[in-house]
Every structure is written in C-alpha cells, then in structure tokens.
C-alpha cells in the first residue's frame, strides 16, 4: 500500500510539473486539489504530497487558507532569476573548464549533436516546443557544466535552470524569427571547448538574456 501511495504521489508530481512547465497550467492560476484528484485519478494524499514537492521547487506557492497557485511570473522575477543564473552558471562553467577531460568534451559534443539533429527532424510543431528537444536542450546545458566538481554549485544551478526553463518555454510561441538559437548554442559550445573563458561568459550572458528580453516584451510592466 505504501509503495502504491508513493507511486501515485510521484506520478502526480511529474504530471502537474509537466503541465506547469508546458504552460498548460498558467502562471498565477489556482490549483483545485479536488479537481486534480479526479482528473489525474490519484488519491487526495498523493496530490497534496505532489503539491508540497512542487512548492519546495518553487513551481507552486502555498497561500494560508487559500490552497495552492502556480507561481506567478513577473518582469522583476525574470530579471533577478536571469542575473543570478548567469553568475552561478558562469562559476560552474569556469570550474568545469578547469577540471574537464576528453570524456567531458565528448559528452558536450554528443549532447550538441542530438539537440541539433532534433531541430532538423520534420515535425508539425516548432521543434523547440517538443518534449524531445526540451530534454535534449537540458542535457546539452547539463553536459557543459558536468565536469564542475562542486556539488553545491550544481544543486543551485539545477534549481535556477528549472525556474528559467519555465520562462524559456513561454518564449517559444512569442516569435523568435530574428534569433538564431542554433548558432547561440554552437558559439557557446565552441568557446567552452577551446577554454576561452571571456568568450564563454559573454556568449552565456547574451544567450540567457536573449530569452529574457523576448518574454519581457510580452509581460505587463
């Protein structure tokens, strides 16, 4: 019975999280626990446990006597998040470049190849909105920092990545015809592989803020 309960809670957590990340559950929207229980066909306890975990991740917020809401988005939060992410990701990349070996380089190249191939496969949807590309994109950025020896830096980076990924996915339908994301990733990878820290930090900051600027134009000021 305990195993079943844990399995239900895990399933509910993954399903609700996926809907938040995909924008199906809109930022700021109220989460009806009873409705989620019926729709996902899991127990009330599983829903509560899932929401508690999502609250710890910062994807939902708990309001006293009012239940849960999807964490809102705002210009102020996005800018603060992006600036902090640039700082932490830069530290991770710097340490990764100091400690990286040929296996690390191979992981980066393989992750880049997968992401680029998925961009060229025929699909009805924008490639960067598909689950496969989203996963490949995450694996690429993770590969870049995978040689960083600091577990705490990597933990902080993961939290920031999850939060920024929600914003990034909101930017995909907003129109990026003047932006070449493929080339941004390629330049970042090449700078990392040749150990050019100034170029890495410049490419990283431009890459992160390019996404932020697209979203900022669509958010109420």
Query: Where in the chain are the domains?
Result: 2-70, 75-216
Exposure of 171 by Cβ count < 10 A (0-12 exposed, 13-18 middle, 19+ buried)?
A: buried
Give the per-residue pLDDT at 129: 73
Give the per-residue pLDDT at 23: 80
The whole-angstrom separation of Cα 31 and Cα 46 is 14
CA 141 to chain centre: 10
Buried-state track 27-64, b at ≥16 Cβ within 10 A, e below 16:
beeebeeeebbeebebeeebbbbbbebbeeeebbbeee
Instruction: Please tell me the CATH code under which domain 2-70 is placed.
Output: 1.10.10.10
| pLDDT tens string 166-217 | 888 776 665 555 678 899 999 999 999 999 999 999 999 999 998 888 888 7
Angle subtended at Cα 169 by Cα 165 and Cα 170, rounded to the nearest 5 degrees: 115
How much is the pTM?
Answer: 0.81
The whole-angstrom separation of Cα 151 and Cα 193 is 22
Residues 70 and 20 sit within 8 Å (Cβ to Cβ): yes
75-216, which class in CATH? mainly alpha
Domains 2-70 and 75-216 share a fold: no
Give the per-residue pLDDT at 125: 64
Give the per-residue pLDDT at 107: 97
Residues with pLDDT less than 70, the chain: 1-6, 123-126, 171-178, 219-221
**3-state secondary structure (DSSP) of residue 178:** coil
Residues 68 and 51 sit within 8 Å (Cβ to Cβ): yes
């Amino acid at each position: 019975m305990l195993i079943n309960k844990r399995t239900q809670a895990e399933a509910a957590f993954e399903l609700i999280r996926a809907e938040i990340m995909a924008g199906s559950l809109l930022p700021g929207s109220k989460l009806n626990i009873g409705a989620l229980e019926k729709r996902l066909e899991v127990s009330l306890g599983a829903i509560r446990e899932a929401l508690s975990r999502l609250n710890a991740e910062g994807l939902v917020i708990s309001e006293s006597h009012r239940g849960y809401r999807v964490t809102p988005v705002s210009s102020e939060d996005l800018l603060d998040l992006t600036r902090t992410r640039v700082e932490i990701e830069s530290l991770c990349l710097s340490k990764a470049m100091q400690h990286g070996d040929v296996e690390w380089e191979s992981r980066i190249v393989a992750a880049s190849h997968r992401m680029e191939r998925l961009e060229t496969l025929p699909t009805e949807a924008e490639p960067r909105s598909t689950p496969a590309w989203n996963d490949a994109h995450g694996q690429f950025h993770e590969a870049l920092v995978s040689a960083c020896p600091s577990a705490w830096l990597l933990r902080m980076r993961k939290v920031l990545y999850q939060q920024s990924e929600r914003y990034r996915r909101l930017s995909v339908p907003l129109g990026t015809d003047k932006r070449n994301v493929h080339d941004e990733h390629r330049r970042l990878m090449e700078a990392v592989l040749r150990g050019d820290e100034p170029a890495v930090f410049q490419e990283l900051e431009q890459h992160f803020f390019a996404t932020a600027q697209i979203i900022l134009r669509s958010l109420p000021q």
